[in-house]
Amino acid sequence: MRMKMKTIRERREGKLRKDAWAKWRQSYQSHLSRQHYTERLVLRFYQRWKDGLNKVDHMEAAADEYQYTMEGGTVERCWKYWRKAVEIKVVERTISDRVCLRVMGEVMDVWKKHL
């Protein structure tokens, strides 16, 4: 009888041990699952933050390129206007000099006729 009681007690303790082990394993698996989910969540949000930062950097680079293009276009346009103005000024100066020479020549001719 004592042996039977001992066997029953050992079986009950074995079942309790087995149940405790199963509950601990389930709890530990749940803990690992939660930890894995948290790590993946952190990594996912870090990646999103990094992508957003890259977009901002790209936008800054695009803005700088646009500004450089606009400034380059403005400088080029101003250079063309200045060059055209200088060409016109040179032509005006040449014509003005020729007119002055012609007027002086006519004045000299009139002066020689009066002498």
The pLDDT, as a whole number, for residue 43 is 95
- 63 — pLDDT class (breaks 50, 70, 90): confident
Taking CA atoms, 2 is separated from 14, 15, 16, in Å, by 18, 20, 21
Burial class (CB in 10 A: 0-12, 13-18, 19+), 95: exposed
pTM as predicted? 0.45
The pLDDT, as a whole number, for residue 84 is 92
Quick one: average pLDDT of 22-30?
Answer: 95
